[in-house]
Amino acid sequence: MNVNLIMSGEAIKVGDKAPDFELTRQDGGFFRLQDMRGEKNVVLYFYPKDSTTGCTKQACEFRNQYEVFKEYGAEVVGISSDSVESHKRFERVHHLPFVLLSDEGGRIRSMYGVPRRLGILPGRVTYIIDKKGIVRYIFNSLSKPLEHVKTAIDVLVELNKEYQHV
């Protein structure tokens, strides 16, 4: 029995504080979500697997819109259970300008409560986390990888309007 799946508890919901974590980046360094707090909004997206059709379309659309994300004060972070080496290849082949994190044991996926389809296929879920570390929006769709990017931009536009009124 997989202990990581038992530990998951409830899925993260809008309004929750995003759980902090530390994972290995594709360049071998470490990424801590907490380091973004107070600095940037985070578009944290979980995806099934490097170099598959849907995941490649999604990653390339995040790449194509990356400057827009930066304009809205956001950092894009992709997470899958693929190895660091797999992420390096995926980044290099598709010229991805954002961080890819290796969650090989699925611990962070489980911590966030990202569902599996048919119990085996890793889900595709995007979390928009504001500068205070609060989850502001969750988009869950395995079959609409490009919608994750469009939806994330729409949410960031609204967040920036909120910041301007504070």
Question: Residue 91 above 50 pLDDT?
Answer: yes
- Per-residue pLDDT at 164: 79
In this structure, is residue 118 part of a structural domain?
yes
Cβ contact 76:40 at 8 Å: no
How many CB atoms sit inside 10 A of residue 65's CB?
A: 17
* Percentage of the chain exceeding pLDDT 70: 92
In this structure, is residue 151 part of a structural domain?
yes
In this structure, is residue 6 part of a structural domain?
no
- pLDDT, tens digit, for every residue of 17-44? 999 999 999 998 999 999 999 999 999 9
- Per-residue pLDDT at 120: 76
Q: What is the mean pLDDT of the chain?
A: 90
* Percentage of the chain exceeding pLDDT 90: 82
Question: Residue 2 above 50 pLDDT?
Answer: no
Q: Say whether pTM exceeds 0.75.
A: yes
**pLDDT bucket at 1, cuts 50 / 70 / 90:** very low
In this structure, is residue 77 part of a structural domain?
yes
Angle at 89 between CA 87 and CA 91, to 5 degrees: 65
| Beta partners for residue 75, in sequence order | 42
In this structure, is residue 7 part of a structural domain?
no
Which tokens go with 144? 């609409």
Segment 64-80 mean pLDDT: 97
d(C-alpha 132, C-alpha 63), whole Å:
25
Separation in Å, CA 51 to CA 25, 40, 145: 17, 28, 13
Range of the domain at 157: 12-165
Structural domains of the chain, count = 1
* CATH number for the domain harbouring residue 84: 3.40.30.10
In this structure, is residue 1 part of a structural domain?
no
Concerning whether 60 is annotated as a catalytic residue, the answer is no
Residue type, 22: E
- pLDDT, tens digit, for every residue of 136-158? 999 999 999 999 999 999 999 99
| Beta partners for residue 77, in sequence order | 44, 99
Give the CA count within 13 Å in the CB-facing half-sphere of 24: 16
- Give the neighbor-by-neighbor strand order of the sheet with 30-32: 30-32, 22-25, 99-102, 74-80, 41-46, 125-129, 135-140
Catalytic-labelled residue, pool 55, 59, 96, 135: 55
Segment 81-99 mean pLDDT: 96
Residue 38 backbone zone (phi > 0: left; psi -120 to 50: alpha; other: beta): left
In this structure, is residue 4 part of a structural domain?
no
Q: How many residues would you count in the chain? A: 166
Segment 42-55 mean pLDDT: 96
| Angle between helical axes of 53-64 and 145-165 (0-180°, round to 10) | 30
